[in-house]
Homo-oligomer: A and B are copies of this chain.
């Protein structure tokens, strides 16, 4: 499992006083940096691979400015060309958000999906949801 500590920013709150819901996908994406690195080790956008297909988000409990947040990222399933992540956000010991994200290994030059290579598959498997 990948763990990413995030310090909430004032700009990520909204007028209702807590973290705005549109901040959640930003934090989830921030938690995927290590996944992106498996597919694009030099982090260059010319070689970018991970294209998002689908997300679901459950907002369980309100998140606040002023306390660190932990994003937890698991690999739930690995297909031929795509993979599914399961993700949680915790604050102050409480599960606040959970969700899924489906990504495909996409070649932006040829505009076609490609099989996930074995060496990346092995790296993904290290973070499999038990």
Contacts and interface: CB of A to CB of B under 8 A. Distances in A.
A45 B22 contact: no
B21 A25 contact: yes
A64 to B, nearest CB: 8
Nearest to A43: B66
Contacts of A80: none
Contacts of A45: 13-17, 65
A110 interface: no
Interface residues of A, number: 41
Copies in the complex: 4
Given A13-B45, A15-B13, A56 B59 contact: no
Contacts of A22: 11, 22, 25-26, 29
24 contacts: A7-B30, A9-B29, A10-B16, A10-B20, A11-B29, A13-B14, A13-B15, A14-B14, A15-B17, A16-B48, A17-B45, A21-B25, A21-B52, A21-B55, A22-B29, A25-B25, A44-B66, A45-B65, A53-B59, A54-B57, A54-B58, A54-B59, A55-B56, A55-B57
